[in-house]
Amino acid sequence: MVNTTMNSTIISIVDNEAQLIVLVNFLNKIISQIGFALIMIMGNIGSILTCIVFSQPTYRKSPCAMYFFASSFSQLFTFNFACLTRMLQYAYGIQIINTNLWFCKIRFYLFYILVAIPRYNIIMATIDRYFASSRDALRRQWSSPKLASRFIIVNVIFWCLIYIQVIIFYNINTGACQYQTGVYSIFFSIYIPIDSGILPLFLMFIFGLLTVRNIHQTKKRIEPATGNSGKITKKDIQFHKMLANQICLFLILNVPNPCYLVYRTITLYTTKSPFRLATETFVSNMTYVLVYLGFSLTFANFIISSQIFRREFIQIIRTRIFRRAPIPLTTIGGTTLRIPRPNDIQD
């Protein structure tokens, strides 16, 4: 009688766990279908519009705008390869990644590159704002279009070289595309949280604080009547706002991913139940949903943060869709802006 009761209890627990696994997998599938689809639509439209705005004459010679342009341009590849392949895998069960070795290697190689490049372009924009806001003329020379174009190219080459390790050490093990077990798995499990979370946060935080300090020092200082004094322009102030909000987005939407990766590293050799594995897969996928969501909100952030960006966007709508005369550029205090006049508004 006791054995029968115990057996029925065990069967009931197993059935409940199986139902929970089905539920978790179903939620993972539905959220992936809807979430990734919306992210790809918003991300592609936003990235294209951002690239168009930052290619306008108002921004053309700004190093910070060049980093923003490079970040948004690289995000097009992020959405249409990295995000797309993840959506196909988790939303529609297309598992080529777990059956074709070369696709397994190339997919993760490009995934890590296409996430790192736009992220570190934003970090370089943060560093550029520090140099641009400095009172030291020699430091301000590090904020130039020529250097920005070089750093953008170096950023691409650097990450392409860094992640060659993925092509070497990723394999299909037990039906899943993943890095090799052993010493490399320990190294990579420690490296990824640093690269994708800890280091970006550290750099953004440090250079953000240094930029704020430079701005406060510049405001307190009595500028000389002549010479390049490093004065903060209206455009610079709006760049600072755009970057500050971008950093806030990164903090909110990107931190869960490295936190999960740290957890995965700690529990790397822990024996896990099927339900725990399903839950971890769900949590892992949701952290990447947040990462891609952060990228897709870049355009919305810029529209909200910058009046100059909004004016340039309206200028594009005005001239390219409604075929109206462009609002002329006006230079005020070293800043090139579009200031609507009454007759411009009435056109």
For residue 170, list its beta bridge partners.
Answer: 179
pLDDT, one tens digit per residue, over 81-100 is 999 999 999 999 888 888 88
Q: Which is nearest to 314 in space by CA: 43, 306, 242?
A: 306
Task: Check if the beta carbon of residue 133 is closer than 8 Å to that of residue 211.
Answer: yes
Q: Report pTM.
A: 0.84
CA–CA separation, 124 and 295 (whole Å): 16
In percent, the amount of the chain with pLDDT more than 90 equals: 43
Domain ranges of the chain: 2-219+231-346
Both tokens of residue 309? 């960006």
DSSP string, 161-196: HHTHHHHHHEEEETTEEEEPSSHHHHHHHHHHHIII
Cα pseudo-dihedral 54, 74, 161, 261, rounded to 10: 120
Lowest mean pLDDT among 55-69, 247-261, 281-295, 327-341: 327-341
Task: Check if the beta carbon of residue 38 is closer than 8 Å to that of residue 288.
Answer: no
C-alpha 86, offset from chain centre: 16
User: Mean pLDDT in the chain?
Assistant: 84
Write out the CATH class of domain 2-219+231-346: mainly alpha
pLDDT, one tens digit per residue, over 255-297 is 898 888 888 878 877 888 889 999 999 999 999 999 999 999 9
